[in-house]
Amino acid sequence: ETGVTQTPRHLVMGMTNKKSLKCEQHLGHNAMYWYKQSAKKPLELMFVYSLEERVENNSVPSRFSPECPNSSHLFLHLHTLQPEDSALYLCASSQDRWGENTEAFFGQGTRLTVV
Amino acid sequence: AQSVAQPEDQVNVAEGNPLTVKCTYSVSGNPYLFWYVQYPNRGLQFLLKYITGDNLVKGSYGFEAEFNKSQTSFHLKKPSALVSDSALYFCAVRDDLSGGSYIPTFGRGTSLIVHP
């Protein structure tokens, strides 16, 4: 148990559906991240929030919409996804900016399948 | 710019034998280095990090890693492998040079398979 909880663990959705992924951290961290992990591809950083403000957005399609209402919660809203968006979506958090003498803690991920 | 390479997609080792998972990096300044492990259908778990200090870093589950500046490497090692160590291992690096991204870059991962 890392202190970062993601729900749901598994999600199957159609291309016209709207769904949301939720991430909650109980570590008192100030930064939160969304990553996409696809088979046989490097881990892709999608979004970074620091103190509830988005600080990075790595050219992610607009069908993915993040929301960070407070420092403990992070959402990823999904709409009109494509089958190639099927992947494991990982949430992470860190005390401050990750890499500045601190490590990130990851949730267990949401396995998303788009049909 | 920062980059990291894990040259082996898969490493096979017999239980009880020592294991090494390789990682090399490239940075403009000094590196911050991390190892993470991922078990099937799970998130990444932090194993260890090198920021500064001793070149040999000890981490969780009996793992250690050796920072070698001249070879720009940070190989993960364990003296005696367990079947339960079978997992996907990720190396990550961040360049401490100001002005760069503070988010570490991950390698592609190395699948470790420990045979009974």
Query: What is the Cα–Cα distance from B35 to B19, expressed in whole angstroms?
Result: 15
- Note the pLDDT of residue A1: 67
Measured between CA atoms, the residue of chain B closest to residue A97 is B102
| pLDDT mean across residues, chain B | 93
Task: Name the residue facing B45 among A2, A99, A100 (closest C-beta).
Answer: A2
Please say if the pLDDT value at position A103 is more than 80.
yes
- Note the pLDDT of residue A64: 95
CA distance B46 to chain A (A): 7
Contact A98 B104 (CB under 8 A): yes
Mean pLDDT, rounded, for A11-24 = 94
Cβ–Cβ under 8 Å, residues A68 and A54: yes
Query: What is the Cα–Cα distance from B68 to A25, expressed in whole angstroms?
Result: 35
Residues of A in contact with B109 (CB under 8 A): 42-43
CA distance A107 to chain B (A): 5
CA distance A21 to chain B (A): 15
Q: What is the pLDDT of residues A34-87, one digit of tens each?
A: 999 998 788 999 999 987 777 777 789 999 999 999 989 999 999 999 999 999
Query: What is the Cα–Cα distance from A69 to A83, expressed in whole angstroms?
Result: 29
Contact B43 A108 (CB under 8 A): yes
User: Which parts of chain A are beta strand (E)?
Assistant: 4-7, 10-13, 18-25, 31-37, 44-50, 53-57, 64-70, 73-79, 87-94, 105-106, 110-114
**Residue B111, SS3?**
strand
State percent of chain A over pLDDT 90. 70
Token couple for A33 = 């991240």
Q: What is the pLDDT of residues B103-114, one digit of tens each?
A: 889 999 999 999
Least confident range of A5-19, A59-73, A94-108, B18-32: A94-108
How many contacts (CB atoms, under 8 Å) link A and B? 53
Contact A98 B44 (CB under 8 A): no
Please say if the pLDDT value at position B68 is more than 80.
yes
- Note the pLDDT of residue A99: 64
